[in-house]
Amino acid sequence: MNDKPTNSLGVLAALRRIAPTERLSTREALHLAERQAEAFRDLTSTTGARVSLDALRKLPHMRILRSRSLLWSGLSYWSGKDWVVCLDATEPTRRQRLTAFHEYKHIIDHGRAHIIYGADAAAADRAELVADYFAGCVLIPRRPLRQAWRSGMRDVNALARMFEASTRAVEVRLVQLGLVADFNPSRPVRMICVDIEDLIEPSCLRRSRQEAAA
pLDDT, one tens digit per residue, over 66-120 is 999 988 899 999 999 999 999 999 999 999 999 999 999 999 999 999 999 998 8
pLDDT score at 1: 31
Give the confidence band of 184 by pLDDT, cuts at 50, 70, 90: low
Q: What CA–CA distance (Å, rounded) separates 76 from 99?
A: 10
Residue 197, pLDDT score: 38
Residue 195 has pLDDT above 50, yes or no: no
Mean pLDDT (the chain, rounded): 84
Q: 65 falls in which pLDDT band (50, 70, 90)?
A: very high
Q: pLDDT tier at 199 (50, 70, 90 boundaries)?
A: very low
**What's the rounded Cα separation, in Å, for the pair 133 and 31?**
10
**pTM value > 0.85:** no
Confidence category of residue 163, pLDDT binned at 50, 70, 90: very high
- Residue 85 phi/psi, 5-degree rounding, is -110, 120
Neighbours of 172 (CB within 10 A): 23
* pLDDT reading at 58 higher than 70: yes
Cα separation, 129 vs 61, whole angstroms = 26
Distance CA 41, CA 209 (A): 17
C-alpha 102/C-alpha 115 separation (Å) is 19
